[in-house]
Amino acid sequence: MNTLVFQLAQTEIARLTTALQAYQTPNANPYVHFAAKHKNATFLAYTSGKVVIQGKGATDLARELQLSDFGSSATIPAKTETRQDMPIIGTDEVGNGSYFGGIAVVASFVTPDDHAFLKSLGVDDSKRMTDQKIQAIAPLLEKKIPHQALLLTPQKYNQVVGKGLKHNAVSVKVALHNQAIYLLLQKGVQADKIVIDAFTSPTNYQKYVSKETNQVTQAVTLEEKAEGKYLAVAVSSIIARAMFLENLKHLGEDVGFQLPSGASNKSDKVASQLLAAYGMKGLAHTAKLHFANTQKAQALLNK
């Protein structure tokens, strides 16, 4: 049996399902949102953005649908659209590379009607903005833009991430992004596109997200440097950065230390001081223990 596999953008899948509407057939698979039979072939469109065409007539059907570069087995990279003239959900996370502090993940819903407001505030990738500006405009964005924010504290992070635990450093971010998108969609927003600032490959993302209880049925696109392409992602990066900084401040106040961002030698020194003052319990309250900084801090303390 001939099988063709394509990874397509949501707009392309919409075109194909419209073309095959008259040949639609029922399908009980919860991960298949459209199925059809035509020209001695079965067409399956999965919620992940994958399209599979099987049967003796698979090549003929692919040709009729104007799908190029097909053969006995084919995979086409998802088409990247950087247009913003549509309602978009964009997500980003902050804190993943910092030893101290939690991980903040935000999904934001931006429509073309919001663009003028966002540009008037100078919305940009949070990595290119000062913390002072981020903290000034984040409350305005939170009030105006529909969003879903999640914060995984260091204490909770240490309970779920690490050897023998539920998550690794990548899968926990997949879970957070997926949950933020899912909860935002539950609020009733309707996006034409969902974009994640890529932190792993689409294959890895799909592998981990398939294990989540809450499933986002709409196609999700992972794009590198998306915060510079989509205002929705830029908004999320700003709100997430403000959340991370606030969390870092509060954690520092809890233990009476100024906690640095990042994972440099400065973090090692502060961590060793925390160990001396509170032991591992104090470090677990403020830092991600599986980082190599933990061992470095212990070595500094033992000198």
Q: Give the pLDDT confidence score for residue 75 in this predicted structure.
A: 35
Higher pLDDT, 11 or 109: 109
Return the domain boundaries, the chain. 3-64, 88-250, 257-302
Q: Read off the tokens for 297.
A: 């801090």
pLDDT, one tens digit per residue, over 5-21 is 787 888 888 889 988 99
Report, as an integer, the average pLDDT of 170-182.
96
Report the b/e string of 282-293 with b at 16+ CB within 10 A.
Answer: bbbbbbbbebeb
Report, as an integer, the average pLDDT of 53-70.
78
Output the CATH code of domain 3-64: 3.30.310.10
Report, as an integer, the average pLDDT of 39-51.
85
In this model, does residue 293 exceed pLDDT 60?
yes
Output the CATH code of domain 88-250: 3.30.420.10
pLDDT, one tens digit per residue, over 228-269 is 899 999 999 999 999 999 999 999 999 999 999 999 999 999
In this model, does residue 108 exceed pLDDT 90?
yes
